[in-house]
């Protein structure tokens, strides 16, 4: 006996819409069981996980700060994934964007002007895009697998940053600690509203999501992305170039990741350190798929994932569970979302022996 997934003839529209909510409900039920097994009050645990972080203004700001890089990177990645280009190296592009954008406040720290900040943002985008250009070039002209090249370049970026902050860019007044000088006021991304720490990086993320959503839905470029992603051959008949699409999608996602990098460094950290990202570039891949590669869905997915981080901290304090529980919870959520989606498109079939398998093959 074995289990097979059989494609459904018709996908239910109702359940496509309901699926994320079912997944969320299942996560809550199984999360509650997990807390009960740990000897904690499940109601209280779920409250501190999902409600407490949303009940205070400062905490909402923290949510926005945490979600901003995830959303911005994931929106860029969605264009890549939709067009069948698998950029796994957003983490590296994030770091290179942060480095390129930091040239002004670290090397030319004396120059202070209102121009500094916009230039930093532009250089950040450029840095990310140029770093993404390497796997783009290799794929477009050498037919290299972009999953491997983009992933391996992440380590190059991480080590380059590490070398910079320990070597040439080390803060001369920092007692030999591996970090750059802190940015001057002109180089710090300001807070959006007075009530908390949310900086303009969150606005960038939302604007990017809306722009990409508009592009995908209403422009020829968006159509081109979908067509080339679904069938390269069909795209060629329509006169679209898959090579140009490699360049477009990789550069766009690189630029978004770079902008996320420099926004994070300028708005939240305000200096370069050996490690500036707790894996945003990789988590964003999850966010992109949780949001079903739809820019507006990605905004929601980014906020939900950020909420689980904040909720994990709140739960550590209020009910005393380990921070590892946060990871388990994120895992549960992702598992249920993916399995619900799978079950919408496929149905599970138990195959008992070869004979019936051939029969069903024949009857199809």
**Residues at the site binding another protein, with contacts judged by CB under 8 A:** 21, 41, 43-44, 46-48, 51, 56, 58-59, 62, 65-66, 162, 166-167, 175-178, 182, 197, 264, 268-269, 273, 275-276, 278, 310, 313-314, 316-318, 322-323
**Could you tell me the smallest distance in angstroms from the CB atom of residue 73 to another protein?**
16
**Could you tell me the smallest distance in angstroms from the CB atom of residue 131 to another protein?**
21
**Could you tell me the smallest distance in angstroms from the CB atom of residue 114 to another protein?**
24
Place of tokens 């370069």: 272
Pick 24 or 223: Cβ nearer another protein? 24
**Could you tell me the smallest distance in angstroms from the CB atom of residue 257 to another protein?**
17
Pick 6 or 323: Cβ nearer another protein? 323
67, 302 Cβ separation under 8 angstroms: yes
> Hey, which residues does 349 pair with through a beta bridge?
4
Cα–Cα separations (whole angstroms), residue 108 to 104, 117, 123, 161, 163: 5, 13, 14, 18, 19
Tokens of 5: 């997934």
Q: How far is it, in rounded angstroms, from Cα 68 to Cα 90?
A: 14
DSSP 111: -
Pick 99 or 293: Cβ nearer another protein? 99
139, 149 Cβ separation under 8 angstroms: yes
Q: How far is it, in rounded angstroms, from Cα 37 to Cα 47?
A: 17
**Nearest in space to 260 (alpha carbons), one of 57, 133, 90, 13:** 90
The set of residues, in sequence order, having a beta carbon less than 8 Å from that of 59 and lying 6+ positions away, is 52, 53, 310
**Could you tell me the smallest distance in angstroms from the CB atom of residue 299 to another protein?**
20
Pick 222 or 274: Cβ nearer another protein? 274
Pick 197 or 221: Cβ nearer another protein? 197
Pick 73 or 252: Cβ nearer another protein? 73
**Could you tell me the smallest distance in angstroms from the CB atom of residue 324 to another protein?**
8
């Amino acid at each position: 006996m074995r289990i097979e997934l059989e494609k459904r003839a018709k996908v239910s529209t109702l359940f496509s819409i309901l699926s994320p909510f079912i997944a969320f409900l299942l996560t809550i039920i199984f999360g509650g069981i997990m807390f009960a097994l740990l000897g904690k009050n499940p109601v209280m645990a779920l409250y501190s996980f999902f409600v407490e972080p949303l009940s205070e203004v400062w905490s909402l700001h923290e949510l926005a700060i945490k979600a901003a890089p995830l959303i911005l990177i994931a929106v860029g990645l969605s264009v890549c994934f939709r067009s069948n280009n698998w950029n796994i190296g957003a983490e590296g592009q994030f770091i290179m964007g942060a480095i390129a954008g930091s040239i002004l406040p670290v090397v030319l720290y004396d120059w202070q002007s209102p121009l500094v900040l916009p230039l930093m943002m532009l250089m950040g985008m450029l840095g990310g895009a140029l770093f993404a250009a390497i796997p783009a070039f290799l794929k477009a002209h050498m037919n290299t697998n972009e999953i491997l090249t983009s992933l391996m370049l992440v380590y190059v970026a991480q080590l380059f940053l590490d070398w910079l902050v320990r070597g040439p860019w080390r803060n001369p007044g920092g007692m030999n600690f591996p970090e750059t000088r802190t940015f001057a006021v002109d180089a710090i991304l300001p807070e959006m509203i007075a009530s908390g720490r949310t900086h303009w990086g969150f606005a960038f993320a939302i604007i990017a999501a809306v722009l990409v959503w508009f592009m995908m839905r209403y422009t020829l470029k968006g159509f081109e992305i979908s067509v080339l992603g679904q069938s390269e051959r069909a795209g060629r008949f329509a006169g679209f170039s898959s090579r140009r699409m490699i360049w477009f999608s990789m550069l766009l996602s690189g630029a978004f990741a770079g902008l996320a990098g420099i926004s994070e460094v300028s708005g939240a950290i305000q200096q370069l350190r050996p490690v500036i990202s707790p894996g945003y570039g990789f988590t964003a891949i999850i966010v992109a798929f949780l949001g079903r590669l739809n820019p507006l869905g990605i905004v929601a997915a980014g906020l939900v994932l950020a909420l689980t981080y904040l909720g994990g901290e709140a739960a550590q304090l209020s009910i005393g569970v380990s921070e590892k529980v946060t990871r388990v919870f994120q895992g549960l959520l992702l598992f249920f979302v993916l399995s619900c989606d799978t079950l919408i498109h496929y149905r599970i079939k138990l195959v008992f022996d070869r004979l019936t398998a051939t029969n069903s093959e024949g009857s199809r």
